[in-house]
Amino acid sequence: MSDVLRVILPVLAAVGLMLTNGVVLIYMLRKVLGHLHLRLGPMHVGWHGVLQTVADVGKLLTKEDITPNNVDKALFFLAPAAVFVPSLMAYAAIPFSETWRITSLDTGLLYTFAVLSLVPIGVLMAGWSSANKWALLGGMRAAAQQIAYEVPLLLSVLPIVMLSGSLDLVEIVSAQGGYWLGFVPRWFVLHPLGFIASLIFLVAGLAELNQTPFDMSEAESELVAGFASEYSAMKFGLLFLSEFSNSFIISALGITLFFGGWTLPWIPADWVAHIGPIIFMLKTYIGIAVFMWIRGTYPRVRIDQLMSLGWKRLIPISLSLIMVTGIAMKVVESVRGVS
Amino acid sequence: MWGAGLINGLRITMRNMLRGPITVMYPYEKLELPERSRWAVRSKYFEDGDPRCTACMACVRSCPDHILDLEVTTAEDKSKHIDRFSYEVGACMMCGLCVETCPFDAIEMSHDYELAVTDAPLLSEDLLADVDAASAKRHRELKAAAQAAAEAAAPSSAPVADDAAPTEKGGDDA
Amino acid sequence: MTDARDIATEVGMLAPEGTHDPGLPPAGIRRAPEGVDGLTTEHLIINMGPQHPSTHGVLRMIVEMDGEEIVSAEASIGYLHRGIEKLAEHRRYNALGTLMDRGDYVSGIHGELASALAVEKLMEIEIPRKADYLRVLLSEINRIASHLVWFGTFGLDTGAMGQFLYAMRDREFLVDILESITGSRMMFNYVRPGGVLADLPVGMDAQIREFSDGFDAYLQEHHELLGGNEIFQHRVKGIGTIDRDSALAFGLSGANLRGSGVAFDVRRDRAYSAYDDMEFDVPVGSTGDAWDRYMVRMEEMRQSNRMIRQCLDGMPEGGFTAKVPKVLRPPAGEVYAAVESSRGETGIHLVSQGGDTPYRFHYKAPSLAVLQALEEILPGHLLADVVMIIGSTDIMLGEIDR
């Protein structure tokens, strides 16, 4: 019996985390964007607006679910699920601390990317099934973009895999323990090759998330709501919940791969052993805040520029980065072997 | 270096965020309007509460959209009684031409801007209803008294403040 | 009971029962000419409708697209038509300013000034020099305010959100100044035939100087935020080019014309009011792309700030209006008066027959010529560029539709 519980409870915790994340992140987005733009964001519902998202969720749950006449009914109904479920599955391999994770996977990194690559299918389904030219344009743009940027996303992470020697996210974090020169933490973002990899990861990650500067598919000033234009009530809620949940996943991956996961530098590990998950969540939220900062500042990249950036620039750079990392590792190894 | 502009942009938004929000949370906080702000037209009164309006119809003729209307009954001794001085505040564009034209300073552009109502008939108001119009004679006497008081108080005339301009036009031949 | 279907069938919007032939392509698709290898594709006709987050007013653009590329574009206007020119035939001359305020509503002073100049020209009224300076002062303040709106919305068209609110913050200073002087934040009704409504209130000089001192630094910050951004530059440089000959042929004016390399500014070349006393440079672009128009307007803001300083420093003594009769009756005749508004040359062609209302009041709007130019330059660009190009030309539907 307890075996069954041991499997189900983490899954329920993941669902709970995903839903709470959505609620908190929407509020955080509105507040961060508001303050970046010299205004206040929500202020009236609860103290400084903390209950705003709760009210919004209540509104979405009670709204009328409108299905236009000409939609492809099966696809229209399934698309939100096809976008939501992969996002939920991606939580499985994220390590919140050494012992806190849904399940331990030797190939955690590969699993996460594989699952995230199912999202464009749902987006395309949503855009196609809405009988709306604007939604179709938005869906096709989103699918092309997300499929194109999965390649540099994965390729940029391969140097990290090579440097740490494993696809297991917990082992990647342990490979970032220790210090160079005694005080600089061995985080991969501070490693010269890792730094370049982190920049590519940032760009490709933003493109995967459909965030500005790569939010062509939801370009508010052109397509109103892009692929989600015809959705109302909870279907719309699911689509946007999964978008926020994806940004949590990408940020969490970035923290794990480049910023040392749940560890803090210069503080002995046993002091923070019990609050590892809290540190992890904090770092992830700082990462998401950086995404929001970028969102509030930059204009949008045009669709053809976006595609050319992805295929013609990021992929060659990440491929050469893999090559350089391999060569550097071999050189360092042989130098060490000689001396 | 390519990308310097991007980093600089982030720096600028962070700096602006740290300058703090500039929101005025209406209706809990309200800004004070400048003196010349033009909002709803309101009647002006003498100190004893009688309206200053003499029903001369100058404002009614000057309104570009014809939203002011005066219904007057003239008695045998030529004194006027204002039955209704109606004002369609919903159609008013607050241009101020009526106040400029009034020779008796009987109406003013108030600072009343919270004019939204939930009932359409309320968009048509009465500025005055069922009162006696002031007489031009009373205005003349008041003006003469004020002038005499001013001359008695300060022999050298004080300079006119800039703000006094709006009601005096250089060249009205009423 | 008649329902919507009956009505729609009657007016011809819905095919009668049983007559729809599903074999035909839907109405929104047009078959393209035969392409390579005998493959035919279909063009998509999309309506960027009057209700749209990004057209500057209620503009309807019907674009025919081959994938993402525009094949043809057509502007459909009239959604903001209020009959300004017709209403003007029933207004007295001193109330024409109230109508002009509502044409190009972001640059109300310029519209009022054009109509006041037309009346003064017809009646041969001489106005005090101080009134001229006040008019120039407020014109330049209004020009900066209008360009700040353009700057903010241009960035929004490309997707950047921050600069819009920073520009609005600066505009709040200006609009507060305008409210203190004229009495209203947008529909000023300040410039009248014969002069202006009133002199500057006490303390206004210091307030304007305070704004003017800080504005150059803010302008530089705005430019760094948007113009310095490489993504923005990639979106804007080389896009939406209107070459010099086309610009002249279409009758463009203002920053759109200067961006294409024609150095014409009504303030300098057909000087009116106190502009002959002002020292200012007129920025001119070279290639006519959206980036040149952007740079021209940014520089214009800096020059306007310079002129505000000169107006305050050189403000003469005197009255703020000439003596004009209460009801103006110009002699019979016609006149054309133009000003350089934030969008170009705003002109009034006034025909009078001696009465107290105009016989004909034509309002030449600079943005209308831009729409014709747009229909010519949009083909070949992508859909994302359409919104950006419209933003770069700074059109105002209020003055197009009148």
Q: C222 and C280 in one domain?
A: yes
The residue of chain A with its CA nearest to that of C229 is A298
A194 versus B154: the higher-pLDDT residue is A194
Instruction: Decide which of C21, C49, C76 is a domain's last residue.
Output: C76
Q: C127 and C262 in one domain?
A: yes
Q: C48 and C154 in one domain?
A: no
The residue of chain C with its CA nearest to that of A220 is C53
Q: What is the pLDDT of residue A230?
A: 81
Q: Residue B117: what are its φ and ψ, rounded to 5°?
A: -130, 165
Q: C161 and C134 in one domain?
A: yes
Please give the structure tokens belonging to residue C237.
């440089």
Q: C191 and C67 in one domain?
A: no
Q: What is the pLDDT of residue C54?
A: 59
Eight-state DSSP code of residue C208: H
Identify the domain containing residue A115 by its residue range.
3-338
C221 to B97: CB separation less than 8 angstroms, yes or no: no
Q: C101 and C65 in one domain?
A: no
Residue A299 touches chain B, beta carbons under 8 Å? no
Stretch B55-59: mean pLDDT, rounded? Answer: 89
Q: What is the pLDDT of residue B163?
A: 44
Q: C378 and C262 in one domain?
A: yes
Residues 6+ apart with CB under 8 A from B172: B103, C326
Q: C31 and C173 in one domain?
A: no
> What's C256's domain CATH number?
1.10.645.10
Number of compact structural domains in chain A? 1
Number of compact structural domains in chain C? 2
Instruction: Decide which of C21, C42, C76 is a domain's last residue.
Output: C76
A137 to C162: CB separation less than 8 angstroms, yes or no: no
Q: What is the pLDDT of residues B87-134, one digit of tens each?
A: 999 899 999 999 999 998 899 999 988 888 898 888 888 888 888 888
Interface predicted TM-score (ipTM): 0.84
Q: How far is CA C290 from the centre of its chain?
A: 16
Q: CB under 8 Å, gap of 24 or more: what pairs does B66-70 form?
A: B67/B91, B67/B92, B68/B41, B68/B98, B68/B127
Is B169's pLDDT higher than 70? no
Q: What is the pLDDT of residue B162?
A: 45
The Cα of A122 is separated from the nearest Cα of chain B by a number of Å equal to 32
- Find out whether A242 and A74 touch, Cβ atoms under 8 Å: no
Identify the domain containing residue C229 by its residue range.
84-401
Q: C246 and C186 in one domain?
A: yes
Instruction: Decide which of C18, C51, C76 is a domain's last residue.
Output: C76
B170 to C322: CB separation less than 8 angstroms, yes or no: yes
Q: C350 and C236 in one domain?
A: yes
Name the strands in the sheet holding C344-352, side by side, starting at the edge strand that comes first in the sequence. C333-341, C344-352, C360-364
Convert chain A into a string of H (helix), E (strand) and C (coil).
Answer: CHHHHHHHHHHHHHHHHHHHHHHHHHHHHHHHHHHHCCCCCCCCCCHHHCCHHHHHHHHHHHCCCCCCCCCCHHHHHHHHHHHHHHHHHHHHHCCCCCCCCCCCCCCHHHHHHHHHCCHHHHHHHHHHHCCCHHHHHHHHHHHHHHHHHHHHHHHHHHHHHHHHCCCCHHHHHHCCCCEECCCEECCHHHCHHHHHHHHHHHHHHHHHCCCCCCCHHHCHHHHCCHHHCCCCHHHHHHHHHHHHHHHHHHHHHHHHHHCCCCCCCCCCCCCCCCCHHHHHHHHHHHHHHHHHHHHCCCCCCCHHHHHHHHHHHHHHHHHHHHHHHHHHHHHHHHHHHHC
In this complex, which of A212, A222, A298 lies closest to C384 when CB atoms are compared?
Answer: A222
Q: How far apart are CA A203 and CA A181, in angstroms?
A: 30
Q: What is the pLDDT of residue A225?
A: 64
Instruction: Tell me the residue length of chain C.
Output: 402
Q: Which residues of chain B have a Cβ shorter than 8 Å from any chain C Cβ?
A: 2-3, 5-6, 8-9, 12-13, 16, 22, 33-38, 62, 64, 93-97, 100-101, 109, 161-163, 165-166, 169-174
Residue B23 touches chain A, beta carbons under 8 Å? yes
The Cα of C235 is separated from the nearest Cα of chain A by a number of Å equal to 7
Q: What is the pLDDT of residue B171?
A: 37
B6 to A296: CB separation less than 8 angstroms, yes or no: no
Residue A304 touches chain C, beta carbons under 8 Å? yes
pLDDT < 70: residue spans in chain A: 1, 218-225, 269, 338-339
Q: C264 and C115 in one domain?
A: yes
Q: What is the pLDDT of residue B156?
A: 56
Q: C172 and C190 in one domain?
A: yes
Please give the structure tokens belonging to residue C298.
């940014």
Residue C27 touches chain A, beta carbons under 8 Å? no
Give 10-residue mean pLDDT values along chain C (402 residues): 72 68 52 61 79 74 84 88 93 92 92 94 92 94 94 88 90 93 92 92 92 93 91 90 91 92 91 89 91 94 94 90 90 93 93 92 93 88 87 90 90
C232 to A297: CB separation less than 8 angstroms, yes or no: no
